[in-house]
Structure 1
Amino acid sequence: MRSLAEINEKILQKKATVFTVDEVKAQVAELGIAEVAKKVDVITTGTFEPMESSGAMINLGHTDPPIKIRRAWLDGVPVYSGFGAVDLYLGASSTVETKDGEEPRSRKAAPKILRGGGHVIEDLIAGKAVHLRAEGQVTDCYPRATFETTISRETINQFYLFNPRNLYQNFIVGVNGGDRTLFTYLGPLQPRLANAVYSNPGAISPLLNDPDLQLVGIGTRIFLGGAIGYVAWEGTQHFPIQKRLPNRTPIGPAATLALIGDAKQMDSRWVRGCYFKNYGPSMMLGVGVPFPVLNEEVIARCAVLDKELVAPIVDFSIPRRVRPTFGLVSYAQLKSGRIAIEGKTVRTAPLASMFLSRQVALELKQWIEAGTFTLTEPVSPIPMERSFLPQDRWTEF
């Protein structure tokens, strides 16, 4: 029906018809796939959820005399410094350390302010000053041993997010069949199946509307943290050969993407540090993906509904990599607020913000309608045959 070049020309002329994925689903229900495909040029999707496999690359610029940083902290949060002299990587889930640089030995000794890398990244994006403490390896060309200062996004050279694993195509539902509360990356799971927590926003989630990644690839331009970003590679733990329903959507965790974007242009409204009790820091991140409507199949994929998508219910009370499940549940059931597990009614809650996920899609729609965001042709597809390799072998040293 259309080419990407034709769609971009309409965008630049501010004549493109752009729908959010919610609007497409509603229009399909009213008019059918063929009629909607005739009128829509671009579909926008979005999510706002925890993405702890994220982080920021930072180049400080050289000091005088120069320093070769080998240990460093930003507001007490350790950063990785095994690059060039003043290149640092701040992981979103890196945990604040005590003043002497040692990790707390117990929960009681942990800092009262529960901060981590995600909070520091949020502060830098917001333009706040952040304390830097660094220790160097003294060499002939890098004679300085220590350095202490404050930095902001305006006083450093590069500051960009490079996230190894974002945008899970689907995920699990966490429950706890045990006798005590469990504190997990899904938040607290109450004992005896008292609650269920899910992370993926379901039918509005970007990759569930492009199940075979036909529209997304390396080089795809996206909305990342309130600025323009790009798909850099497949994500870690990318598992596209997950079992799938007849509509091609996976029944559990499947494809993932690695994302990159200039954090100096981002908005802290869409990048927020967070903390999971007795688990650790993470980061809430807004990501939006646009889909060009090249043919009717694009509309058909984006018409998928919550009742047509499922996720596995996983029991975290079994401390193993492979945990027992209570079967599959639809996202329509999850979003109703109650599901049934072995005859028991269980309360459900999402980690993703449904409201802010829709706001991401809406803001991306507005960018495209204003002609400030065009679509890109991927330079290479995302591999769809990756298997998942666990570490089950024990090796003695």
Structure 2
Amino acid sequence: MEKSLDLINTRIRDGNARVVTADEMPAIVDELGEEGALEEVDVVTTGTFGAMCSSGAFFNFGHADPPIRMERVWLNDVEAYAGLAAVDAYLGATQEADSPNRVYGGAHVLEDLIAGNTVELRATSHGTDCYPRRSITTDLLLEDMNQAVMLNPRNSYQCYDAAANSTDRTLYTYMGSLLPRCGNISYSGAGTLSPLANDPGFRVIGGGVPIFLAGGEGMVVGEGTQNSAGGGFGTLMVTGDMKGMRQDFLRAAVMNG
């Protein structure tokens, strides 16, 4: 049996589509067989929700009066990269706060903004004729920014390594605490829900494909950094408007290692 995308899209628009998760699909195939499952199910959803570095966001703060060309920028004492334009910056999720003894970083800033919390913007400059102002400190909400665009260079690993520790002492790593003498194994993955594990040939997932990202509408930009799809370690670069995201689907985390 074949089912066209036009038919599936028509059923989605009419509200008649049968949608299941990738977790549910194997049981349906066992019950109905492949042909029966294809006839019964229109959409199979996949997804990931876990710790991921290589994430961040571009911000355009808008111009002050008098204007400033922001050469260095901090959001809640977390420095963002400002070598872009006068009031543009990119904040990386793993950038740590300058404040001593503060367990806080870029991911916490992103979560605070999406949660509707006020964030302190601080910027400095040498000053120019076009942009005479040399410093600014102000409080901002997400809604105050012209743009807040999440752009994650590497998300959604197709699969990932497992880690064990053969030494005689506990190792504290970004994959968790590894006990001595192979006392445990740590691994990361979404199992049957993993998007790229369900599309290893990238037949559907690719540049321009709409996705659900951190509670809002997003899009696949293309292959992510360190992409190695031929070896089973494909990655995706993804983007989305932070103003449509929800805190339920974005959480900051701290890992020693």
TM-score (norm 2): 0.97
Counterpart AA for 1:123 = D
Cα shift at 1:6: 2.5
Structure 2 gap segments, 5+ residues each: none
Cα shift at 1:11: 1.0
Question: Which of 205, 219, 243 is 1:216 aligned to?
Answer: 205
SS of the residue corresponding to residue 48 of structure 2 reads: strand
Cα shift at 1:23: 1.5
* Counterparts of 1:140 and 1:60, CA distance in 2: 20
Correspondence 1:178-257 to 2 at 5 A? 178-242=167-231, 250=232, 254-257=233-236
Cα shift at 1:213: 1.0
Is 1:267 aligned to 2:252, yes or no? Answer: no
Cα shift at 1:195: 1.6
SS of the residue corresponding to residue 36 of structure 1 reads: helix
Corresponding residue of 1:133: 122
Answer with 198-207 or 256-265: which moved more. 198-207
Cα shift at 1:3: 2.7
Contact 1:67–1:137 (CA<8 Å) still a contact in 2?
Answer: no
Cα shift at 1:202: 1.6
RMSD: 1.1
Corresponding residue of 1:333: none
SS of the residue corresponding to residue 88 of structure 1 reads: strand
Correspondence 1:282-301 to 2 at 5 A? none
Is 1:166 aligned to 2:167, yes or no? Answer: no
* Counterparts of 2:133 and 2:4, CA distance in 1: 56
Is 1:19 aligned to 2:17, yes or no? Answer: no
Question: Which of 227, 237, 250 is 1:258 aligned to?
Answer: 237
The structure richer in strand per residue is 1
Corresponding residue of 1:123: 112
Corresponding residue of 1:355: none
Q: Give aligned pairs, total.
A: 256
* Counterparts of 2:180 and 2:76, CA distance in 1: 36
Correspondence 1:48-197 to 2 at 5 A? 48-98=49-99, 110-111=100-101, 113-197=102-186
TM-score (norm 1): 0.63
SS of the residue corresponding to residue 131 of structure 1 reads: strand
Cα shift at 1:185: 1.7
* Counterparts of 1:137 and 1:270, CA distance in 2: 39
SS of the residue corresponding to residue 31 of structure 1 reads: helix
* Counterparts of 1:73 and 1:195, CA distance in 2: 39
Contact 1:227–1:262 (CA<8 Å) still a contact in 2?
Answer: yes
Identity of aligned residues (%): 46
Structure 1 gap segments, 5+ residues each: 99-109, 243-249, 280-397
Counterpart AA for 2:250 = V
Contact 2:47–2:190 (CA<8 Å) still a contact in 1?
Answer: no
* Counterparts of 1:2 and 1:140, CA distance in 2: 63
* Counterparts of 2:158 and 2:225, CA distance in 1: 12
Deviations 1:19-54 (A, max 9, x none): 111111111122211110111111101111111110
* Counterparts of 2:206 and 2:4, CA distance in 1: 17
Contact 1:96–1:116 (CA<8 Å) still a contact in 2?
Answer: yes
Cα shift at 1:9: 1.9
* Counterparts of 1:51 and 1:3, CA distance in 2: 35
SS of the residue corresponding to residue 85 of structure 2 reads: coil
Higher relative contact order (CA 8 A, sep 6+): 1
